[in-house]
């Protein structure tokens, strides 16, 4: 069992963050075939794999680097370290990959491989060449979809932050991904592998959502550690983890957008979460929420710095009985 020792100060400083670089590292693993795509991203993977294969074809380094970096139980450290507070862009994070000395990159690959580095990879500028490939993955496959992914990740962070406020760190950590568990006495189980424990005294600890089915850990010892975790299935289903989808009859009664919002609010959510889940703009979501509030279908309450919306009893009854409305509504128009 692999575990980290985390003192109260480290846990108190722990926070959630997004990282375009780490999302790109995950995409690199998927496009190279080293990791499976997360549920709901299969179509994205199928669409971008041909271009990836064309990009690496005929380049011995590019063809071999993914298999060396992504091992069944280890990922080479240099390929993606935790983001820094001052990072403003993907390039800020990628620049640190580029600056990795060859001796460090070579040692990371040897650790991941559990043996010598193949001749195709033991070349000058290992990290810089890997960064070039990551940059291509970002530009070609991740950047066009990054605004949507970031909104979804931010909504996921809001949900976990609210869970943290209600249930504490132990329950929140265990909800992030399988194998992650608070053992008590300052010990956080990272996975079920037989690894030596690590002491994170004085370090910063980040929790980073990603479109990955499993997640992984990364660090820049001894100062910064990150735990990547699957983003609650939100990338897989635009209706969110609950799978809530409005009945067609409810859409004809309320309008499709308001019906979807009502269906999604089977559990309290913020406006930001609803924006991420529906893909509608903040103004559009806010306007429809006001209509639902005025109709007595929603509650609105503050939780810390967030404002949460949830269904009233009337809203619950309407959502639950929507299928029965179909015969009476016929083909009424909606908007």
- Report d(CA 77, CA 124) in Å as an integer: 18
Give me the pLDDT at residue 79, please. Answer: 97
Q: What is the distance between the alpha carbons of residues 61 and 74, in angstroms, rounded to a whole number?
A: 20
pLDDT value for 125: 97
d(CA 156, CA 216) in angstroms, rounded, equals 17
Angstrom distance (rounded) from CA 301 to CA 160: 18
Residue 242, pLDDT score: 39
pLDDT score recorded for residue 128? 98
| Residue numbers of the chain with a pLDDT score lower than 50 | 233-244, 324-335
pLDDT digits (tens, 9 = 90+) for 266-306: 778 888 878 877 778 889 999 999 999 999 999 998 866 67
In three-state secondary structure terms, 31 is helix
- In the chain, the percentage of residues whose pLDDT exceeds 90 is 58
What is residue 246's predicted lDDT score, i.e. its pLDDT?
A: 55
């Amino acid at each position: 069992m692999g575990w980290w020792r985390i003192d109260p100060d480290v846990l108190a400083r722990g926070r959630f963050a997004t990282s375009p670089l780490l999302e790109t590292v995950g995409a690199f693993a998927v496009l190279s075939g080293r990791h499976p795509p997360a549920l709901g991203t299969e179509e994205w993977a199928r669409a971008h794999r041909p271009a990836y294969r064309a990009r690496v074809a005929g380049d011995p380094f590019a063809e071999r680097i993914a298999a060396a970096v992504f091992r069944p139980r280890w990922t080479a450290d240099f390929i993606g370290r935790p983001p820094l507070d001052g990072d403003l862009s993907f390039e800020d994070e990628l620049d640190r990959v580029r600056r990795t000395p060859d001796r460090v990159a070579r040692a990371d690959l040897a650790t991941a491989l559990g043996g010598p580095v193949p001749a195709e990879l033991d070349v000058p500028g290992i990290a810089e060449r890997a960064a070039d490939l990551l940059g291509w993955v970002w530009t070609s496959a991740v950047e066009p979809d990054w605004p949507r992914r970031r909104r979804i990740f931010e909504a996921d962070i809001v949900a976990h932050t609210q869970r943290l406020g209600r249930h504490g760190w132990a329950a929140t950590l265990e909800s992030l991904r399988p194998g992650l568990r608070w053992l008590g006495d300052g010990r956080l189980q990272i996975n079920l592998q037989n690894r030596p424990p690590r002491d994170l005294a004085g370090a910063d600890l980040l929790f980073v959502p990603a479109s990955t089915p499993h997640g992984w850990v990364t660090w820049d010892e001894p100062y910064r550690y990150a735990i990547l975790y699957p983003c609650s299935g939100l990338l897989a289903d635009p209706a969110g983890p609950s799978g809530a989808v409005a009945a067609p009859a409810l859409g004809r009664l309320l309008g499709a957008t308001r019906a979807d919002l009502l269906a999604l609010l089977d559990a309290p959510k913020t406006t930001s979460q609803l924006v991420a889940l529906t893909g509608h703009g903040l103004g559009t979501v806010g306007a429809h929420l006001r209509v639902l509030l005025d109709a007595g279908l929603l509650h609105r309450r503050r939780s810390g710095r967030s404002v949460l919306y949830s269904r009233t009893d009337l809203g619950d009854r309407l959502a639950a009985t929507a299928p029965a409305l179909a015969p009476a509504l016929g083909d009424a128009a909606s908007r």
